[in-house]
A = this chain, B = another copy of it.
Amino acid sequence: MRTLRRYYIPCLVVLLVLNPAVITASGKEPVPLDESRISSQTQACIGCHKTYTPGIVEDWLTSRHSKTLPSDAVKKPALQRRVSADNIPDGLSGYVVGCYECHSLNAEKHKDNFQHMGYKINVVVSPDDCRTCHPVEVKQYQESKKGNAIKNIMDNPVYHTLVETVDGVKRVENGKIVSYKPTDDTLRETCLGCHGTKVEVKGMKKVFTKMGEITVPDLTNWPNQGVGRENPDGSLGACTACHARHAFSIEVSRKPYTCGQCHLDPDVPAYNVYKASKHGNIFSSDYHAWNFDNVPWVIGKDFKAPTCATCHVSLLVSPDGNIVAERSHNFSSRLWVRLFGLIYSVPQPKTGDTTVIKNKDGLPLPSAFTGEPAYEYLLSREDQDNRFDKMKKVCVSCHSTNWTNGHFDKLDNTIKETNEMTLAATRLMAEAWEKGIEDKTNPFDEPIEQMWVKQWLFYSNSIRYASAMTGAQDYAAFKLGWWELTNNLMKMRDAIDTKGIIRKKAAENKSKKK
């Protein structure tokens, strides 16, 4: 404790001197930073952290949070509001949103709450904390597939098997490949890096910092910013997956680079396809002249081509102020069909928690092994149409109805054909199983099975993305597209034929030896 006090005392007495010039230069809000609007607790935080972790203090100083009183934020005209709460709790409404305002909320639920320099602080700020000012967004998010992303991968036995097969260390023991259970660390930097980890408090531990030794909660699977993270307060999700700490810049989350952290080639090449599309080209060439900060986001004025957020999330209005799309943090709310992560592309599920689905094979997959959709758990035709209409309203802000229909008719055909190409691979794999060439117990751990996985998880996905966006033909052709779909089938056929003969020969050799 001696080492601690050495730093602790000066921190408390340090004067909060913030450089207003810098704030003016970086901040986009007209309101300059005003110390009287910062709570005394947050002032204390900053007093030390401007020395010990200056980067995040500076980052926060450029944020809208650092310059906005929640009490002002709720008074904005409906379309311009960035908070969805009608009332802000008294203690919070009169100060800007600083360190303490977020890191002290709902302390009773936070198993990661700890005594830190005289304050009770949560290490992890969760969606349930953000809910205080942004309840509509958090509700939408937690109902989405993203908000259920851990469960959707780890509580589904099929995907769980894929995860275990891929991520476990293999050792060669007596010439055999023996697979071990994946470690938490490896899960955290592969699948759960995006899907989210389970962050629990194991106890307390001492860490040696620039301030000396301090005692902090010992968290499992931390750090992690996966979209479906399970937090120490029991909530699901991580707003910081897209709204990077501590500037929480809407500009960052509206730019495609944010989505590109997870939606990448080869399994989810949304970002790669976007970049190579006409929309992506216009964005890359022209975005410096656009406004990524405006709410509502005005089509044609603020931007001239959509980013991911435009089509999937943001509140959009036309230049004359009419709403084109409502904001939604359920990222499927304008989507009728699922393009990736599935063996066959089928309509969106009714619920963000997809583990409730049961296909005719008895598995929590939205289609059977042979492609038949589990309709009962999927959107009705009418609901699909409603979602399609929401998306189409965005498209027709720039494109004619005829153009837009022609575009989506093509997508319909692509879904049908890529599903057929997956079915062809499924049939070949089934043949390999029937002939005893591979073993169906685990459908992911042998060479022909792995070709089957690539057929749907990489190639069909990629083609559907290229179809859904404008352009990026190489992702439908040579990159991860039809060339690979076709080549892969040939290789599967070849492997079955070759191994059929090899197997026979091996069996003969064995019987000869006897």
A136 close to B (CB within 8 Å)? no
Which of A185, A277, A399, A450 neighbours the largest number of chain B CB atoms within 10 Å of its CB? A185
Chain B residues with CB under 8 A of A36:
none
Q: Check A414/B185 contact, CB under 8 A, given A166-B486, A258-B281.
A: yes
Find A450's partner among B252, B300, B487 (CB 8 Å cutoff).
Answer: B487
Q: Check A486/B165 contact, CB under 8 A, given A189-B466, A261-B281.
A: yes
* Distance of A414 from chain B, by nearest CB (Å): 7
Residue of B nearest to A167 (CB): B482
A203 close to B (CB within 8 Å)? no
Chain B residues with CB under 8 A of A417:
169, 183, 186
A282 to B171: give the CA distance in the assembly, Å: 38
| A495-514 Cβ-contact flags toward B at 8 Å (1 or 0) | 00111011011100100000
Find A285's partner among B222, B249, B431 (CB 8 Å cutoff).
Answer: B249
Q: Check A170/B421 contact, CB under 8 A, given A501-B509, A505-B501.
A: yes
Q: Which of A45-101 contact B (CB under 8 A)?
A: 50-59, 62
Cβ-defined contact, B167 with A319, below 8 A: no
A396 close to B (CB within 8 Å)? yes
Cβ-defined contact, A209 with B450, below 8 A: no
Cβ-defined contact, A413 with B183, below 8 A: yes
Binds B, one of A125-133, A141-149, A358-366, A404-412: A404-412
A354 close to B (CB within 8 Å)? no
| A167-195 Cβ-contact flags toward B at 8 Å (1 or 0) | 11111100101010001011011110110
Chain B residues with CB under 8 A of A441:
none
Residue of B nearest to A224 (CB): B406
A427 close to B (CB within 8 Å)? yes
Cβ-defined contact, B276 with A261, below 8 A: yes
Cβ-defined contact, B319 with A482, below 8 A: no
Q: Check A319/B58 contact, CB under 8 A, given A261-B276, A474-B264, A490-B446.
A: yes
A294 close to B (CB within 8 Å)? no
Not counting A177-B493, A258-B285, a sample of 8 additional A-B residue pairs whose C-beta atoms are within 8 angstroms of each other reads A19-B319, A55-B299, A170-B420, A172-B427, A222-B403, A262-B474, A264-B474, A268-B474
Residues on A close to B: CB < 8 A?
19, 22, 26, 50-59, 62, 123, 165-172, 175, 177, 179, 183, 185-186, 188-191, 193-194, 207-210, 216, 219, 222-223, 225, 244, 247, 249, 251-252, 255, 257-258, 260-262, 264-268, 275-278, 280-282, 284-286, 288-289, 299-301, 304, 318-320, 396-403, 405-407, 409-410, 413-414, 417, 420-421, 423-424, 427-428, 431, 445-447, 450, 457-458, 463, 466-467, 471-474, 476-479, 481-483, 485-487, 489-491, 493-494, 497-499, 501-502, 504-506, 509
- 8 CB contacts below 8 A, A to B, read A123-B402, A172-B431, A189-B467, A247-B286, A249-B285, A264-B479, A266-B479, A505-B505
